[in-house]
């Protein structure tokens, strides 16, 4: 089954622009759903994730904050790497200035691939990451002064499991 | 301070609700990681070399520099010893502070001459006077 996603700007922080993905016919973005859903069950973890993102916003989305080469997830897709959290939130670290935040969930298995919910969120971001790279290659997207231009016109068809 | 062009988003809403202790924890966590990173860079020490110095795996050093590692005092002390520099310092209001041990214990006057002083601006909010814990007692008096 295909689902259309668009990328929408969330915040322009001091050093980083935040974007979120928004599924067609959904009331809110995957990130907002994640925060609202888990703020009831895991309020402390949600707070840590929000604060972590704001710190990234202050300092820049530096590679070392993400431990890029340690994960098994391919491309630019990474889990927010706060230690000892049960929640996993996935994002695309495009560069030091641009962070696209996807969705996530509760980690209940050793590998994200073994959890259908988490795997789904990763797969969505992996497809968007690939499509973004293609658009950059074709010139539909470009970075000017650290700002991605052209995103507002784009939507992506993403394959999702039924 | 964070500059926000769009400050009415749900993100801002959640950020404003972050409890003070988590704000402080994450601030400290990033400050410590950035401090270690700064010292290594300043001395041209690679992560690999630092791992050898610390007798740790490079992946562990990576975690330390990620800004989201929960350091123990033991680890911070070892890093400080290996790098021969302070990673964190606790601010002191004065050289002499009264330290209450228990509710009925005798207050001791501790000489803090050799203690470290405040360096990181963000740590200001950790600064407090021990005397405020013991407003009604004088040096050497017992707590009631």
- pLDDT at position A111 is 84
Cα distance from B77 to chain A (closest Cα, Å)?
21
Task: Measure CB to CB from residue A32 to each of B7, B10, B23 and give the nearest one.
Answer: B10
Per-residue pLDDT, averaged over A8-29, amounts to 92
pLDDT at B44 > cutoff 90 = yes
pLDDT band at A135 (very low <50, low <70, confident <90, very high): confident
Q: Is B3 in contact with A84 (Cβ distance < 8 A)? A: no
Per-residue pLDDT, averaged over B21-50, amounts to 96
Q: Is B68 in contact with A51 (Cβ distance < 8 A)? A: no
pLDDT at B126 > cutoff 80 = no
Q: Is B14 in contact with A47 (Cβ distance < 8 A)? A: yes
The answer for residues whose C-beta is within 8 angstroms of residue A62's C-beta and 6 or more apart is A96
Q: How many CB pairs under 8 A join A and B?
A: 88
- pLDDT at position A162 is 55
Residue B15 with chain A: CB contacts under 8 Å? 50-51, 54
Other beta carbons within 10 angstroms of residue B105's beta carbon come to 11
* Weakest mean pLDDT among A50-54, A63-67, A88-92: A63-67
Give the ipTM. 0.87
Instruction: Quote the pTM value.
Output: 0.78
Task: Measure CB to CB from residue B6 to each of A11, A28, A59 and give the nearest one.
Answer: A11
- The mean of the pLDDT values for chain B is 73
pLDDT at A58 > cutoff 90 = yes
- pLDDT at position A40 is 95
- pLDDT at position B82 is 97
Residue A67 with chain B: CB contacts under 8 Å? 62-63, 66
Per-residue pLDDT, averaged over B102-130, amounts to 41
- pLDDT at position A84 is 86
Give the distance from CA A115 to its chain's centroid: 18
Using CB atoms within 10 Å of the CB of residue B54, give its burial: 0 to 12 exposed, 13 to 18 middle, 19+ buried.
middle
Determine the Cα–Cα distance for residues A107 and A119; give it in Å rounded to an integer: 10
- pLDDT at position A81 is 83
Q: Between A60 and B7, where is the model more confident?
A: A60
pLDDT band at B106 (very low <50, low <70, confident <90, very high): very low
- pLDDT at position B100 is 58
What single string gives the DSSP state of each residue in B74-101? HHHHHHHHHHTS-S-----S-SEEEE--
- pLDDT at position A73 is 57
- The mean of the pLDDT values for chain A is 88
* Weakest mean pLDDT among A93-102, A125-134, B4-13, B80-89: B4-13
Task: Measure CB to CB from residue B68 to each of A31, A52, A58 and give the nearest one.
Answer: A52
pLDDT band at A68 (very low <50, low <70, confident <90, very high): low
Report yes or no: B46 at the A interface, CB cutoff 8 Å.
no
Q: Do residues B107 and B140 make contact, with C-beta atoms less than 8 angstroms apart?
A: yes
The answer for residues whose C-beta is within 8 angstroms of residue A70's C-beta and 6 or more apart is B59, B62
Closest residue of chain B to A14, computed from CA coordinates: B3
Q: Do residues A104 and A22 make contact, with C-beta atoms less than 8 angstroms apart?
A: no
Per-residue pLDDT, averaged over A1-13, amounts to 91
Residue A93 with chain B: CB contacts under 8 Å? none
DSSP 8-class letter at A61: -
Report yes or no: B120 at the A interface, CB cutoff 8 Å.
no
pLDDT at A92 > cutoff 50 = yes
pLDDT at B23 > cutoff 50 = yes
Q: Where do runs of H (alpha helix) occur along chain B?
A: 10-16, 20-42, 47-54, 58-64, 73-83
* Weakest mean pLDDT among A86-95, A110-119, A122-131, B3-12: B3-12
Other beta carbons within 10 angstroms of residue B35's beta carbon come to 19
- pLDDT at position A144 is 82
Report yes or no: A146 at the B interface, CB cutoff 8 Å.
no
Residue B34 with chain A: CB contacts under 8 Å? 59
- pLDDT at position A149 is 80
């Amino acid at each position: 089954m295909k689902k259309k996603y668009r990328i929408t700007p969330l915040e322009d922080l001091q050093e980083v622009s935040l974007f979120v993905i928004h599924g067609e016919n959904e009331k809110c973005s995957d990130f907002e759903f994640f925060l609202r859903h888990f703020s009831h069950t895991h309020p402390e973890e949600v707070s840590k994730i929000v604060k972590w993102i704001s710190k990234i916003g202050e300092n820049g989305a530096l590679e070392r904050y993400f431990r890029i080469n340690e994960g098994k997830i391919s491309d630019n897709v990474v889990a927010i790497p706060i230690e000892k959290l049960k929640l996993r939130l996935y994002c695309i670290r495009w560069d030091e200035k641009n962070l696209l935040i996807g969705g996530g969930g509760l980690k209940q298995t050793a590998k994200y691939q073994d959890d259908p919910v988490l795997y789904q969120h990763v797969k969505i971001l992996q497809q968007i990451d690939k499509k973004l790279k293609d658009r950059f290659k074709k010139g539909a997207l470009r970075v000017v002064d650290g700002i991605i231009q052209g995103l507002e016109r784009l939507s992506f068809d993403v394959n999702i499991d039924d | 301070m964070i500059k926000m062009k769009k400050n009415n988003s749900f993100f801002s809403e959640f950020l404003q609700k972050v409890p003070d202790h988590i704000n402080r924890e994450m601030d400290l966590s990033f400050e410590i990681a950035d401090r270690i990173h700064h010292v290594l860079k300043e001395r041209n020490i690679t992560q690999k070399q630092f791992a050898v110095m610390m007798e740790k795996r490079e992946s562990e050093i990576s975690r330390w520099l990620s800004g989201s590692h929960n350091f123990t005092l033991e680890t911070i002390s070892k890093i400080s010893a290996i790098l021969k520099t302070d990673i964190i310092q606790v601010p002191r209001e004065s050289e002499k502070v009264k330290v209450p041990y228990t509710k009925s214990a005798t207050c001791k006057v501790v000489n803090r001459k050799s203690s470290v002083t405040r360096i990181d601006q963000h740590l200001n909010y950790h600064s407090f006077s021990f005397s405020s814990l013991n407003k009604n007692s004088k040096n050497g008096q017992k707590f009631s």
